[in-house]
Chains A and B, each alone.
Chain A
Amino acid sequence: MLTQTSHKALVCIQCGKCTGSCPESGKTPFNIRALVRKKQFGSGITEGIPWYCTSCGACTIRCPRDVKPSEVIIEMRSAFIENGTVPLAIQKALENTFVQKNPWGRSRNKRAAWTEKVDFEVPHVSETESKRLLFVCCIQAYDPRCMVIPVNVANILNKAGFEFGILGEEEACCGNEIRRIGETGLFEELQEENAANLREYGVKEIVALSPHCMNVLKKEYGDLGIKVSHYTEALWPLIEEGSFKTTRPCPKKVIYHDPCFLGKQNNIFDQPRNILRSIEDLELLEFSRSRETSLCCEGGGGRMFFEVETTYQRNAEVRVLEAAEKGADLIATACPFCVMTIEDPATEKGLIVKELSEIIMEVL
């Protein structure tokens, strides 16, 4: 069963709050308010335009009429998808997901390759007592840069005595991006496949490593009767109750970037910050735009797979410049997409980007 969030374009009063909050507005040809207007009148949409949306969700959160402009975009994309006119890079990501169950088309048989780097044998979820599933995410299962994240988190949770298992090769892409790209049919297939496995193995709880996976599993898989959380939500109580301790100091100025799918879309602001604050000597800095107003890194909504036509200053660079100005030694975040997008300009400015688990591993 699929929970479809439907938009209400017709009640839009064109106030422009969506455009005001949109990370693509102004610098690109993408104007969310104008697109909702076009939807109201059923006017034609210029090919290419809907693909600018990063699915950050700011418009939907800010809308006073609950129009859900981000859902309007998904519907527009769906029309292009059904029509077969899709940017080539997006098409590739979809075809790859269809064949190998991940957008990069890497071998499904290698989805659990990261477990070879873990200190202990990671069990299949069916073999656990708790039936608690660590949902890994495609990019973290395959990308050499992001693969450290599941390795770290597995080691950390294991050290904290927190039992979990994985689906291994049986895990399919969660479909969060696929749904936002507008490929509803493919999203349904992924959802059905994952849901069937969750049922078969009697999974009782899911700890997702990526905010994107967490979002879709929690909100868009229908009622699974399974508690879904992000790993920072699971880890913080373990630190608080003393089951997990870091031992070494980290005398650094760390600025935390809120991932859209963790922060503004799921209100998880404090746990990652609390985890960082629990580290000795670590000084936590804040961006001027943080928490609900955090600036999107532009990695979501399919933008991880495809580049829009215009060249402009990337938000990631804006973030890096501010971090440098504030005197940060490193930028911390809790999402693999944010790591990937921000690291590029950061390296150039001599700044380091780390996912939370990487910082924890250094102070174990």
Chain B
Amino acid sequence: MNILVFTKRVPATQEEELRLINDGKDVDFSKLPFKVNDWDNYAVEEAVKIVEKGGGAVTAVSIGNTESDEVLRRAIAMGAKDGFLVEVDQALHDPFARGALIRNFIRKESIPFDVIFTGVQSEDDQFASVGGILAALLKLPYVSMVVGIDSVAKDHMVVRRELEGGLQERVRVTTPCVLSIQSGINEPRYVSIMGIRKASKVERKSFKGIEYDAGKESHIELVKWVYPPKKGGAQMLGGELPDICKKLMEILKEKGVYQ
């Protein structure tokens, strides 16, 4: 089975206070390290596991600037055979534009695949939409939030998708298809620095995004970014015990963990 898996290089923002510049038109990434998008890491691992077991090849694709080569090397170190970079000079904020670019790329370059994997979402924009848009544009069946691949047959797969509250749904999907992989589906292997250095010797192909009308099909516009309403430290719940309990229960209800 040939699996096309998408992987994105994202800023590591978890520990950072982000700073807006140019009146909120840009985020200052100058001092941030970058990393592979967590969800994509799971997707690459899952793809590699499938071909290790049943044969075939994994091709990793990244849409981004030249530095995204880093996540391709990483994917190759994990077991992908090829790495393709579709170079775009500006971030595409609209998931539709990303989906359309990928469709155009796949069609124009006649990239062969049996299945396409994406992460459910990326850590930066958290749209959780590119996989679904791409599937629809390619007229392929789609399953998102995949937490388990139970079986892979010649013309179909049986997968489990995560619903809410610990419930899962088992679905049968014909191939070719697009699956969006949820974090936690596997335990991604550790990729050592030595492994990445070795992977650097595998040639990666680079394509120019402009050839595939990058950004032409945007349907939404990011006007600017804004900071969230400020909250400083913990909000302390005071008062007598019964009041405290009442407030606590209200919070639990509001967060949807207690009905």
A99:B35 contact, CB within 8 angstroms: yes
Q: How far is the CB of B10 from chain A (nearest CB, A)?
A: 11
Which DSSP category, helix, strand, loop or mixed, fits chain B's interface? Answer: loop
**Which of A107-115, A231-239, A315-323 sits within the interface?**
A107-115
Interfacial residues of chain B within 187-219, with CB under 8 A of chain A in the complex: 187, 189-197
A residues neighboring B (CB under 8 Å): 81-82, 84-86, 88, 91, 94-95, 98-100, 105-110, 183-186, 188-189
Q: How far is the CB of A71 from chain B (nearest CB, A)?
A: 18
B193:A108 contact, CB within 8 angstroms: no
A185:B12 contact, CB within 8 angstroms: no
B194:A99 contact, CB within 8 angstroms: no
B192:A185 contact, CB within 8 angstroms: yes
Docked Cα-Cα span, A109 to B15, in Å, equals 9
Chain A residue nearest in CB terms to B194: A185
Q: How far is the CB of A136 from chain B (nearest CB, A)?
A: 17
Chain B residue nearest in CB terms to A80: B190
Is residue B246 contacting chain A, with contact meaning CB distance below 8 A?
Answer: no
Is residue B230 contacting chain A, with contact meaning CB distance below 8 A?
Answer: no
Q: How far is the CB of B12 from chain A (nearest CB, A)?
A: 5
Select one of B34, B35, B192 contacting A183, CB under 8 A.
B192
A85 and B189 in contact (CB under 8 A), knowing A99-B35, A105-B15? yes
Is residue B31 contacting chain A, with contact meaning CB distance below 8 A?
Answer: yes
A82:B192 contact, CB within 8 angstroms: yes
B15:A186 contact, CB within 8 angstroms: no
Residues of A close to B15: CB separation below 8 A: 100, 105-107, 110
A81:B192 contact, CB within 8 angstroms: yes
Q: 22 A-B residue contacts at CB 8 Å? A: A81-B192, A84-B189, A84-B190, A84-B191, A84-B195, A85-B189, A85-B190, A86-B190, A91-B190, A99-B35, A100-B15, A105-B15, A108-B31, A109-B31, A109-B32, A110-B15, A183-B192, A184-B194, A185-B195, A186-B193, A188-B193, A189-B193
Is residue B33 contacting chain A, with contact meaning CB distance below 8 A?
Answer: yes
